[in-house]
Structure 1
Amino acid sequence: MPKDHLNTMFKGALILSISSLVAKILSAVYRIPLQNMVGNTGFYVYQQIYPLYGIGMTFALNGFPNFISKLVAEQPDETSKSLIARRAFHILSGLSLVVFFGLQLGATWIAAHMGDVNLAPIISAVAWMFVFMPWLATGRGYYQGKFLMGPTAISQLIEQVVRVAIIIMAAYFSVRLGWDNYRMGTWAMSSAPLAAICSSLIFTAFGLKYLLAPAPEPTHTLPSYRKLTKRFVVEGGTLCLVAAVVILLQLVDSFTVMRGLVRQGQLPEVAKALKGVYDRGQPLVQLGLVVATAFSATLLPALTDALAKRQPIEFKRQTQAMVHVSLALSMAATVGLVALMPQINRLLFGSLEGTTALRIYIVSILFAALITTYTSVLQSLNQYTAMIIGIVAGLATKVLANYLFVVHYGINGASAVTVLSLAVMFAVMWLGSPEDLQQVLLESGYLIKLLAISAVMGLVVILSCHQMTALVGPVLAHTRGMAGIVTVIGVILGVLVFVAGAVYARLFTIREWLVLPYGKRLIKAVAKGKEHHS
């Protein structure tokens, strides 16, 4: 591959990674002010329908664009690239229209099966987003196939900024004008199609030139619509399934938690509020995953490069670094959030409701980060079987067990089944992966060291929090301000203990330290310290 082309590819990957990181943070953070403004029941109304939006955006942002980019990159010339994009657009248009009409005509039926028929107008509102999905997915996929990541990055940021702004405005007017929660939810979910329209504008020139203008004569034989549709279902569907794992679990919650709580004996209004409390865990898990996977993702280009150059030893080193960094960061984030959960719950949401359920739910970060990392490696090896079986097994666990656990254990049960489902997914993927990839977690006592460091960190944070709240007395201890102070101090203490433990136990190799923020400085500081003592 020419050097200029390689530089373009890596720059594009960096731009897309940064925009994805910003979009993910925005997507997690806005839910906190939303919940504070509309309360638990209002948050429940929004979160019940959110998975439908999330699945649509996963299709339009990750799954289908990645598949279309592969199709475009396979073509030998510009004409073939534009024609394959046109065919992809036609197939996706058919698919999205089926989904759109299915949601519109079935809105009342879906809402009834969620246990709340008042949700029907919100389902109808979010359905309009699927009309724009083919345009977005094809535009993004076409440019990514030509290694131009700028249009995808810009459209992604526009989509998130517009959507978040509309949601917060809907919440504000809801409080100001006294709207009911369902009217607020309808306006909030109208943000999805409106944001899709705004982000689609980036691809106007592309669409007019390549999708809507008369088609040029093909220079090469293109795959038939039948063959292409089959590839969309098998390959594109797999990529979408992998990208939407956590959202699909949330969709199962939408159909089972509210109904399970009512069956348990809760009044419908109480059940809605409890579901809203349970949904507090989602932004926390999202933020934890951003932290856990952002730095390990920087190793992906090196992983791909080692594979392309057929360097198995280098590939194994990069894989080990990626898994170790992802696992360590997800473990640290999980243990830290579990230890600080009462304070975080009070600080962000104004109460201690559902603290136990949230503590259980937070363990999802650990398995979700490992699934993300292992799927990246397995995709680079073109090994999809273990991924598919793992995802199907995990989803089946959630579908079969969730309602039963909610009836018996409430929202704690729903949290436990989410963690169990992700654990099943990862276990199947791990067992089905090549032996080298299995051994990465078990080499040189890494797992034992990590568990010991995390246990010490968690214990120090919990004891410190108890000590601080005891010192200020019960009145101050129950304020949001104090919760904020304790959280900040707890985070700083946790980071210091974890880093000190990692250095002392030699948890990471030098390669792994360099991936982490300030890792290079830390290596230099430790080296100077050793020189000084010697």
Structure 2
Amino acid sequence: MQRKTMKTVMQGALLLSVASLIAKILSAVYRVPFQNMVGNTGFYVYQQIYPIYGIGMTFALSGLPMFISKLVAESETAQTKLALLSRIFVLLAGFSLLLFLGLQGLAVPIASGMGDPGLAPIIRAVSWMFLFSPFLAISRGYFQGEYDMRPTALSQLVEQTVRVTVILVVAYWAMKHQWNVYRMGTWTMSSAAIAAVFASAVMLYYVRHQHVKFIAAIHQPVDQTYSSLVKRLLIEGGTISLFASMMVLLQLVDSFTVMRGLMIQGLPSLTAKSIKGVYDRGQPLVQLGLVVATSFSSSLLPSLTEALNRGNHRQFVRQANTVVRISVAIATAAAVGLVALMPEVNVLLFGNQQGTGMLSVYVLSIIFATLIMIDNSILQSLNQFAVTIAGLTIGLLVKVVFNQWAVVHFGAIGASWITVVALLVMAGFLRQQLRKEQLRAFKRGFLLKLVLIAVIMLISVRLVIPVGSWLTAAWTPRMAALVEAVLGILVGVIVFMYLALKFKLLTLREWLLLPQADRWLRWFKK
């Protein structure tokens, strides 16, 4: 019976991971055709408000359901589960209603704070999604707590598919009928509420099919009071949700400071909006880089909890250090590879080389964001919630305090550097805390080897690009960029892997933890 339960849990976790991966890729990829259709200014309008959607989405999709599933798993009887969920629903409904009313009523001051009062209707459009968040969080959390990941996985895929479809259809329609960027932005942000309706319909089907009655259990007695639930929601649920939306929080700071900083610098409003739109190109690139970097390591993280549950601290330390080294190696390869190919990637995806410098700096975020996510998972498995919140707060303070100053003095590239510095500070703080737990992942010259390998890879990629340019001299810029990028990726992967094996960056045991490692390791050995 226990084996069957464990098998169900693992299958469910795999299903949810695959659905989450597909949704993340969808969420990153659609922005390329979207930007191509609406241009830099249209992309700026959308991206200014996107962080509000991103934070709400994280709470409803991953942060709160994960916390609620923990409460469900802790409850002993079905009645206790439902009674507990009904109280959490009341709390979340009250909070979501206040958030909705606040965004509706304060849309103009918020838009003015971003330096563009024209954004107010778009803020009001995105606020409607928060009305669906309580039901989505509760229902997803309930089924995850019952080890049934299908409803969450399906609703997640439906939600992202509907949202991306609406956004691209609206962008095409706006381009065809020459809508102004604010009207286009309002309709594209309405996709959040439309997608939430479809996701809620999926969850409602499962709730009715399983005869789950949240509201009927509201008068049932439970051990936890409303005040204790609020405390747990803020500390445990808040920690999970805030770290899941870490990059979006940094983007929210950008929404309030980059545009204003450029205008303080003396740029006209239209020019500042265009530059901010170019700066925002970095976000889908970082998002894709994080998907690549964290997808390999996420499969290794459950073994950490297992080692802790067995009381095997030595195994926990060894596995945690392994996860960190593998994740940072892959993230560095992805980030430096993007830096090396940024001129070609920029032309391929966005049609020109505008902002190549600031995008090259911005994608370095992949390295530190990956390290933070892994360290956060390790610290949370040790129940170190206060430490992770402190690290996040310090990093956000760096971004808030210095971002606008950096933009005024150095232009938009200043915001890129401050993002990287904020993440570096956050990562350094979390690393310091982990050293107290004897978790020292970077030793025996690991970082020096990694930097050396990355620099040689970057130089190798740039040296081979002229070959691609010569082969595609008569082609269109985008087709030429595609060939050059593919050639650069092939050379980058071969050089990085060859040097990583030669310098023994990772042990053989660590290499073999990666998917299909035995096959491609044999090829490289030849």
Q: TM-score range by the shorter chain?
A: over 0.9
Distance 1:494 1:150 in 2: 38
Q: Secondary structure at the match of 1:517?
A: coil
Deviations 1:110-142 (A, max 9, x none): 111111111111100000000000010011111
Shift of 1:96: 0.4
2:186 — aligned with what? 186
Given candidates 471, 493, 506, the residue that maps to 1:508 is 506
1:494 — aligned with what? 492
Shift of 1:441: 1.7
Deviations 1:279-319 (A, max 9, x none): 00000000000000001001012122111111222212221
Contact 1:135 1:207 survives alignment (8 Å): no
Distance 1:422 1:437 in 2: 22
Shift of 1:396: 0.5
How do residues 43-122 of structure 1 correspond to structure 2 at under 5 angstroms? 43-122=43-122
How do residues 217-232 of structure 1 correspond to structure 2 at under 5 angstroms? 218=220, 221-232=222-233
Shift of 1:437: 5.3
Contact 1:321 1:511 survives alignment (8 Å): no
1:431 — aligned with what? 432
Given candidates 514, 519, 522, the residue that maps to 1:521 is 519
Q: Secondary structure at the match of 2:301?
A: helix
Matched, 1:272 2:276: no
Contact 2:87 2:218 survives alignment (8 Å): no
Contact 2:498 2:524 survives alignment (8 Å): no
How do residues 384-533 of structure 1 correspond to structure 2 at under 5 angstroms? 384-436=385-437, 438-442=439-443, 444-469=444-469, 471=470, 476=474, 479-525=477-523, 529=526
Q: Secondary structure at the match of 1:516?
A: coil
2:320 — aligned with what? 319
Deviations 1:476-517 (A, max 9, x none): 588111111100000011001111112212222233223323
Relative to structure 2, which stretch is displaced further, 201-210 or 39-48? 201-210
Distance 2:389 2:13 in 1: 26
2:162 — aligned with what? 162
Shift of 1:335: 0.7
Distance 2:395 2:358 in 1: 20
2:137 — aligned with what? 137
Matched, 1:292 2:290: no
Task: State the one-letter code of the partner of 2:436.
Answer: E
Distance 1:92 1:505 in 2: 52
Task: State the one-letter code of the partner of 2:352.
Answer: S
In structure 2, the CA distance between the partners of 1:393 and 1:159, relative to structure 1 (3 Å rule), is same
Distance 2:163 2:439 in 1: 41
Q: Secondary structure at the match of 1:128?
A: helix
Shift of 1:522: 2.8
Shift of 1:211: 4.8
Shift of 1:392: 0.4
Distance 2:423 2:8 in 1: 36
Distance 1:466 1:119 in 2: 44
Contact 1:86 1:210 survives alignment (8 Å): no
Task: State the one-letter code of the partner of 1:176.
Answer: K
Task: State the one-letter code of the partner of 2:485.
Answer: T
In structure 2, the CA distance between the partners of 1:324 and 1:477, relative to structure 1 (3 Å rule), is farther
Distance 2:423 2:524 in 1: 37
Contact 2:286 2:365 survives alignment (8 Å): yes
Shift of 1:523: 3.7
In structure 2, the CA distance between the partners of 1:526 and 1:188, relative to structure 1 (3 Å rule), is closer
In structure 2, the CA distance between the partners of 1:127 and 1:184, relative to structure 1 (3 Å rule), is same
Deviations 1:442-475 (A, max 9, x none): 2x32222222211111110011114543x369x6
Deviations 1:248-271 (A, max 9, x none): 000000011111111111100000
TM norm structure 2: 0.96
Q: Secondary structure at the match of 1:351?
A: coil
Contact 2:65 2:137 survives alignment (8 Å): yes
Q: Structure 1 regions of 5+ residues with no counterpart?
A: 530-534
Matched, 1:336 2:337: yes
In structure 2, the CA distance between the partners of 1:144 and 1:511, relative to structure 1 (3 Å rule), is farther
Distance 1:60 1:215 in 2: 22
Q: Structure 2 regions of 5+ residues with no counterpart?
A: none
Deviations 1:335-356 (A, max 9, x none): 1000110111011101111000
Contact 2:317 2:439 survives alignment (8 Å): no
Task: State the one-letter code of the partner of 2:411.
Answer: G
Distance 1:277 1:337 in 2: 16
Distance 1:406 1:525 in 2: 47
Distance 1:284 1:525 in 2: 30
Deviations 1:405-458 (A, max 9, x none): 11111111010111111111111111122435541122x322222222111111
1:532 — aligned with what? none
Contact 2:15 2:153 survives alignment (8 Å): yes
Distance 1:177 1:523 in 2: 54
Contact 1:89 1:211 survives alignment (8 Å): no
Q: Secondary structure at the match of 2:299?
A: helix
Contact 1:79 1:216 survives alignment (8 Å): no
How do residues 241-280 of structure 1 correspond to structure 2 at under 5 angstroms? 241-280=242-281
Distance 1:512 1:155 in 2: 35
Shift of 1:229: 1.2
Distance 2:90 2:507 in 1: 49
Distance 1:526 1:412 in 2: 38
2:216 — aligned with what? 214
In structure 2, the CA distance between the partners of 1:221 and 1:85, relative to structure 1 (3 Å rule), is closer
Q: Secondary structure at the match of 1:89?
A: helix
Matched, 1:356 2:357: yes
1:239 — aligned with what? 240
Distance 2:215 2:384 in 1: 38
Distance 1:336 1:402 in 2: 26
Distance 2:214 2:73 in 1: 21
Relative to structure 2, which stretch is displaced further, 56-65 or 514-523? 514-523
2:9 — aligned with what? 9
Q: Secondary structure at the match of 2:224?
A: coil
Relative to structure 2, which stretch is displaced further, 47-56 or 137-146? 137-146
Task: State the one-letter code of the partner of 1:483.
Answer: A
In structure 2, the CA distance between the partners of 1:236 and 1:213, relative to structure 1 (3 Å rule), is closer
Percent same amino acid at aligned positions? 50
Give the aligned CA root-mean-square deviation in angstroms.
Answer: 1.7
Q: Secondary structure at the match of 1:310?
A: coil
Task: State the one-letter code of the partner of 2:94.
Answer: G
Distance 2:58 2:393 in 1: 18
Q: Secondary structure at the match of 2:300?
A: helix
